[in-house]
Amino acid sequence: MLFRQIHVLLLVLFISTDLIGQTGLAYTYLDSKGKQFVPRGFVMNTEDGIGDIIFSDEDYLRAARLGANFQVIRLNMSKLGAWPGHQVDTTYYEKLDRLIELGAKYGMKTGFKMTVYGIKGFGDNHWRDLWLNKNNEQGLLSKAWHVLWERYKDHDSLYAYDLLNEPQRGNLDISYDALQRDKLVPLYRKLIDELQEVDRKKWAFFQPLLMEKNPDRAKLPIPFYEMNIPIERSKVMFAPHIYQLDLEKIQPWLDRYQKEAKLSKVPLFLGEWGSATYDQTDIDLLEQQRYARAYIKTAKIADSLGVGMIKAWFLGSRWKGTNPIGKFTWAIFKDKEVVGTAERRYITDIIARPYPSIIAGKLYDFDYNYAQRELKFNFRYNSNKGASEVFIGANRHYPDGFTISLNNGEWVAFYDPIESKDLKILTSTFNNGVKINWDERLQKLIIQQLPKDKEEYAVTISPGINN
């Protein structure tokens, strides 16, 4: 019943508003083999407020079946010895090794994100000490990164390093402009230079200042201070976060992030997106519809640009934070297990929307119509790049099967989950050369071969079967 109500909401939403025009992708990302991919996935925590988290092989399979081709592992600064008074836990590296391997097994690239959450009571005084480098805090941060850079420099699936998560001003008596100019950007540049001395293949991600627990925050519509100084480095991406439920504020928020990325002449990558949920959200249908509208609008705009998007967290809700509104979490599962299995479907069905995951060639545009359950994308095929992958998520979006059409019906096939686990060809004007397989386990299409190299193809995935 809930699914039907939300589907009606989506239908109304997209009948009454204009769809975003597809004019080409503003941002593209390439893997180590030169294939274009659209980064999607989750933050994978190594622990929460209760204790360690151990992910299983089955957990990663579920993440892949939600469309993940990218994971961001949230690093514990304490266990890496990246703060005064904390020693390296060598077993932590083994844990990271395992998560990278699990991700690679299911087709995920990995990013690391340095967080301060492992330091007990980390607060305003700690941020002040970091900026002043009072006890060699910056040196310890650099040393911890160096160990990781050396350890993973030959790992192709390790894609990026997010240098410092949501940095804050703390108790430092300095303006945000001065902090950015004199402290934050120089630290970023130093770390980027050091990374590139070790490994020039990996990307460095950088984030803006978070105006947390500060009266200045209320004066601005976006709680992150605007980056107004170019980073002036290569192999770098701007990786801010967006949490917004007000539909009118989503576009301006993303517009500003594009402006900041353009200032540094770097790609934009949404390191986290999607507002946290509260206890009330899980039992209030109107609230769930409000979340669905906001998630859809954020996703539609980001997809029109080709922006990579990472959702926090791939966890159950055994631990929650508390603020004046109530208990909240970014976890996508609502049961109280460590990882969880009971999805918050009002957001996961949007997170797990169909999309072209990996393209052997040049992806021009893509769009998923939520009301019609239709995915369309256009690309130029390059046979030398190998196979392409299209995440479908048929188990949630097309339980009645789906039809795939190339070039407006030159080649048509369908998947009937009851009749067969393979595609059945209906129409083909091509003599030979189309090899497209359905991977039911990972819920994706594998485009192994198309008849004409260096040609443009239009692909449409639509619900139902037409036999």
pLDDT in tens, 387-402: 999 999 999 999 999 9
* Dihedral sign, Cα of residue 95, residue 97, residue 103, residue 108: positive
Q: Look up residue 80 and give its amino acid.
A: L
User: Are 309 and 407 within one domain?
Assistant: no
Q: Please check whether residues 160 and 75 belong to one and the same domain.
A: yes
Q: Which of 310, 326, 352 is the last residue of a domain?
A: 352
| Statement to judge: residues 374 and 247 lie in one domain | no
Domain extent, residue 100, equals: 37-352
Let me know whether 186 and 275 are in one domain. yes
* Tokens found for residue 389: 């992958």
47 pairs with which residues across the strands? 52
Please, which pLDDT band fits residue 8 given cuts at 50, 70 and 90? very low
pLDDT at 92 over 80: yes
DSSP 117: T
Considering the domain architecture, whether residues 346 and 371 belong to the same structural domain is answered as no
Domain-embedded: residue 175: yes
Q: At residue 99, what are phi and psi to the nearest 5 degrees?
A: -65, -40
Looking at the structure of the chain, the number of domains it has is 2
Q: Are residues 276 and 195 in the same domain?
A: yes
Nearest CA-CA partner of 393 in 370, 364, 363: 370
What is the per-residue pLDDT for 212?
74
Q: Of 288, 319, 352, which closes a domain?
A: 352
For the beta sheet containing 321-323, the strands, ordered from the edge strand earlier in sequence to the opposite edge, are 277-278, 326-329, 321-323
Answer whether residue 122 is part of any domain: yes
Residue 25 lies in a domain: no
- The answer to whether residue 320 is domain-embedded is yes
Average pLDDT, rounded, for the chain: 92
- Residue 28 covered by a domain: no
Same domain? For 382 and 250 the reply is: no
Whether 426 shows a pLDDT value over 50: the answer reads yes
Handedness of CA 111, 354, 248, 281 (dihedral sign): negative
336 and 421 part of one domain = no
Q: Does 17 map to a domain?
A: no
Residues 112-151 pLDDT 10s: 999 999 999 999 999 999 999 999 999 999 999 999 999 9
Contact 72, 207 (CB under 8 A): no
- The full length of the chain comes to 467
Q: Are residues 321 and 425 in the same domain?
A: no
**CATH at residue 79:** 3.20.20.80
pLDDT of residue 2: 42
| CATH at 374 | 2.60.40
14 pLDDT above the threshold of 70: no
Eight-state DSSP code of residue 434: -
Pick the last residue of a domain from 322, 352, 382: 352
Distance of CA 16 to the CA centre of its chain: 28
Q: How many whole angstroms separate alpha carbon 134 and alpha carbon 126?
A: 10
Considering the domain architecture, whether residues 336 and 365 belong to the same structural domain is answered as no
User: How does pLDDT run across 297-332, given as a tens digit for each residue?
Assistant: 999 999 999 999 999 999 999 999 998 889 999 999
CA-based nearest residue to 40, from 236, 244, 273, 386: 273
The string of pLDDT tens digits covering residues 262-294 is: 999 999 999 999 999 999 999 999 999 999 999
pLDDT-derived band at 465, boundaries 50, 70, 90: confident
3 within domain boundaries: no
Same domain, 57 and 133: yes
Both 323 and 420 in one domain: the answer is: no
32 domain residue, yes or no = no
pTM, whole model, 2 decimals?
Answer: 0.93
